Structure 1
Amino acid sequence: MIHHDTQAALDRLMRFLSIEGVTGEEKAIAEDVAKALQEAGVPAEAIAYDDANTRIPVPTQTGNLIVKIPGRGALGNAEPIMFMTHLDTVPLCAGAKPRITGDKIVSGGDTALGGDNRTGCAVLVSLAAELAKQNLDHPPLVLVFCVREESGLWGARHINLEMLGPVSMGFNYDGSRPADVVTGAVGGDGWSVEIFGRASHAGVAPERGISASMVAAMALADAQANGWFGKVVKGDKAGTSNVGTIAGKDGRGAGDATNVVTDYCYVEGESRSHDMAFVDAITDAFEAAFVKAGKALVSSEGKTARVVFSRQRKYHSFSLDRDSAVVRRGIKGVEAIGLTPNPRLVNGGLDANYLSLHGIPTVTFGAGQNEAHTVDEWVDIPAFQNACRLAIALATAR
């Protein structure tokens, strides 16, 4: 019978939810997680930070927290297994005041809660505590608490693999239902375009101007009309796209006044699919639409806009074989705690995308998060407790 101290696990979760640590500013929560691990019996020398923050191209307070727990008993010499989660929350969680209402944890204010992903942090610390407290046999374990997941999977992308060491498989906690065995996720591009038009007096000589905002509108209308916006289906290929930002210089709105033709516009969006070639196709379609629109709008002097399109591969898709060792272990773990496994793919990026790209096949499970990234976010306490039991089952399976 797999069991754990449910009150201690809940207390850890409430403790972590109360600590601010939005993406890029994870120092305080990382330090408290490290402290909680030591309180659970993990030696200080087993806890360290990697140098991922020195390679992440945006300011990041600390590297990934990596914890090494030696194997014990009959499983002590088995291949190491990784458990991972992320430390950061979205900015909407700043100032969260968690409170328990029945079987739920909710935010007491006008912020999101931070269950994404403080639930995962509490699961991993509770796993370490229960293995020590119950003196359970387990293989060598590596616990990883990543930074900057919410702003681009940066911690997982730049994790120090030498410090991580050899691991045979990984289990990631990030989601709602523990019974969901997430075996794959989409890949995605982030793209942006700068449109350089020409200003002119909109009331006196609008024909001399080149409206950057109109070029953007024409391009986006063209992409939508040709089926490249939103849910994208082309034959047997499927994906999604979105336009997230339309702005001007220095974060201001595009344009300066209604009587001036807009001379600059910045547009930012994304493309996603489980097929990386189709990710490229979606992004290509947006680039073609902007280039076409830039040439189509011609001033009275025969001039056109200059369009600069950029793309960045945000994460690669992956899909694990249902018969692979990590998926089989995940399914057996869910069954061991009395739930029905639900193997599935998801349409969001995960730290598991990068770990799988790094050569570590990683399955993701939920830990009770619901309505993440909104002020209505809540944590399902029974699901969180099942996630803790599942971690023990995964770590101790023979």
Structure 2
Amino acid sequence: MKTDRIIQQFIELVKIDSETKYERKIADYLIKLFKDNGLEVTEDNTPLETNHEAGNILAYYPGNKQKEAIYFTSHMDTVVPGKGIQPSIQNNYICSDGTTILGADDKAGIAAIIETIHLLKENTIDHGDIYFLITSGEESGLVGSRYFDETSLPVKYGYALDSDGDVGHIITSAPSQVKLYATIYGKAAHAGVSPEKGVSAISLTAKAITKMPLGRIDEETTANIGSFEGKGPTNVVCEQVLLIAEARSLSEEKLDKQVKAMVEALQTTAEAMGGKVDIKTEVMYPSYRFDETDKVVKTAIQAAKKIGAEPILTTSGGGSDANHLAGKGVPTVNLAVGYENIHTTSERIPVNQLKQIPQLMIEIIKGVDTL
């Protein structure tokens, strides 16, 4: 393990602008890097579906022993503000200058993948086929993994490198998410002369929201209103509102119940007030759930112990590319990579966590079963 090398690689990666949708520059960088290291590399045609600059990159490292094939995945895009990132090391943390994010989410994972490739080349390690999937558009709703063709990934199981928490934490379950898009129609009228002739879409929406179960519903389920907007002059009763909401749950039954409750609140309120509503719901990604009896988890637990990390099995309230890959039939859990305060200008990552990720990956690779 060469600490200086992974630090330098990470810093080089975060300096490459790659805000979500605009991933072309970093995609080209990674394709060249993987090819220069002797891997077979392909980029898929998902931009036809996602409208992002780059597709998903799949790099193949052939095995030297008859062992089960596995994969690791990270995403190349970042949230905003992610242009002109200036990283530095302060008190054993790598951070930005405070005007941008750092981009450890998820360039820490990519740096660890690159360091793992170096370690495989430099050391005698028995391993089967290994695939490295670098997705685009994760920060735009997991769109890269959503349209990824899982048949190009002939593996037994794998790992996303994309969670906060100390290295050794294993996210064994994460919820499904449904987005709700509603257009609420009222009836326009003069707000001063004849307001009683109108139906305020804003009032209708507000009353419907008060009838919805929101926030923490139970230990597996959450719901939230993202926004609702009705525009117009104050002298006109507002006749249209656009609302965006979401619900998440580890239980499909509970998720269906929650979405139904939100839809019914809108529909019954609209009917009672003389308005109407058009509602569209969309499943953004499926849930996944594994436990210590599953091979993908057992292998990670053993690897964490090997590097002296405490394996802790946890549940996430958010989604990652692991949701889509697991949903496509490829057993996948998400591994913590140590970054902190992601999606903020206070984002940072401890140097000691960054260097532990490839150590964990190598032990996972060593722990894969022989065929």
Task: Tell me, yes or no, if structure 1 residue 123 matches structure 2 residue 112.
Answer: yes
Matching residue of 2:225: 243
- Are residues 1:283 and 2:283 paired? no
Q: Distance in 2 between matches of 1:158 and 1:112?
A: 27
Give, in angstroms, the shift of residue 384 of structure 1.
1.1
1:92-111 alignment, distance < 5 Å = 92-111=81-100
Preserved contact between residue 34 and residue 59 of structure 2 (Cα < 8 Å) = no
Contact kept, 8 Å, 1:20 with 1:29, in 2: the verdict is yes
User: Hey, what does 1:54 align to over in structure 2?
Assistant: 48
Contact between 2:285 and 2:323, CA under 8 Å: does it hold in 1?
A: yes
* CA distance in structure 2 between the partners assigned to 1:55 and 1:222 by the alignment: 37
CA drift of 1:94 comes to 3.2
1:294 to 254, 262, 270: 270
Q: How many residues are aligned here?
A: 367
Q: CA deviation at 1:324?
A: 1.3
Contact 1:42/1:128 (8 A) holds in 2:
no
Q: Shift of residue 37 of structure 1?
A: 2.6
Aligned pairs for 1:1-398 within 5 A: 4-39=1-36, 41-43=37-39, 46-56=40-50, 59-72=51-64, 76-164=65-153, 166-176=154-164, 177-223=166-212, 228-233=213-218, 238-247=220-229, 254-297=230-273, 304-397=274-367
3-state SS in 2 of match to 1:62: coil
Any unmatched runs of 5+ in structure 2? none
Cα shift readout 1:118-139 (whole Å, capped 9, x = no counterpart): 1111111111111112242211
Match of 1:275, as an amino acid?
S
CA deviation vs aligned residue, 1:81-104 (integer Å, no higher than 9, x gap): 111111111123233222211211
- 8 A Cα contact 1:96 1:109, kept in partner: no
Output one character per residue of 1:177-200: Cα deviation in whole Å (capped at 9) or x when no partner: 211011111111111110122221
- The 8 Å contact of residues 24 and 53 in structure 2, kept in 1 or not, is answered as yes
The residue type paired with residue 225 of structure 2 is V
Pick closer, same or farther for the CA change 1:105–1:275 going to 2, 3 Å: same
SS in 2 for 1:396: helix
Report SS of the residue matched to 1:93. coil
CA contact (8 A) 1:52 1:160 kept: no
SS of the equivalent of 1:55 reads helix
The one-letter code of the counterpart of 1:16 is: L
Kept in 2: contact 1:37–1:129 (CA 8 A): no
Structure 1's 328 and 54: CA in aligned 2 closer, same or farther, altered over 3 A?
same
In structure 1, what is the Cα distance between the partners aligned to 2:62 and 2:220? 44
Distance 1:66 1:334, change over 3 A: same
SS in 2 for 1:370: coil
CA RMSD of the aligned region, Å? Answer: 1.4
Q: 1:114 Cα shift?
A: 1.1
Q: What is the alpha-carbon distance in structure 2 between the residues aligned to residue 68 and residue 341 of structure 1?
A: 28
* 2-structure distance, mates of 1:96, 1:367: 20
C-alpha separation between the residues in 2 aligned to 1:99 and 1:201? Answer: 59
% identical aligned pairs = 28
For the 8 Å contact 1:195–1:264, the answer to whether it is kept is yes
CA distance, structure 1, for counterparts of residue 306 and residue 34 of structure 2: 26
Q: Indicate the larger mover: 92-101 or 308-317.
A: 92-101
Output the CA distance in 1 between the equivalents of 2:35 and 2:352: 26
Work out the CA distance in 2 between the residues paired with 1:201 and 1:113: 51
Amino acid at match of 1:8: R
Q: Whole-Å Cα distance in 2 between the matches of residues 192 and 142 of structure 1?
A: 37
> Could you say which residue in structure 2 is the equivalent of 1:301?
none
For 2:186, the aligned partner's letter is G
**Once the two structures are superposed, what CA deviation does each residue of 1:34-81 show, in whole Å capped at 9, x if it has no partner?**
233344x224xx01101222233xx21111000011012xxx222211
The answer on whether the counterparts of 1:200 and 1:260 sit within 8 Å (CA) in structure 2 is yes
Residue identity matched to 1:313: V
Per the alignment, in what secondary structure is the counterpart of residue 66 of structure 2?
coil
Aligned 8 A contact 1:65 1:146 in 2 = yes
C-alpha offsets along residues 143-179 of structure 1, whole Å, 9 cap, x if unaligned?
0001111121111111122332x10110110012211
Cα distance, 1:378–1:392 mapped onto 2, change above 3 Å: same
Structure 2: how far apart are the matches of 1:25 and 1:79? 35
Q: Does structure 2 conserve the Cα–Cα contact (< 8 Å) formed by 1:50 and 1:64?
A: yes
CA–CA separation in structure 2 for the residues paired with 1:364 and 1:107: 25
SS of the residue corresponding to residue 139 of structure 2 reads coil
Instruction: Normalising by structure 2, report the TM-score.
Output: 0.95
Q: What is the match of residue 251 of structure 1?
A: none
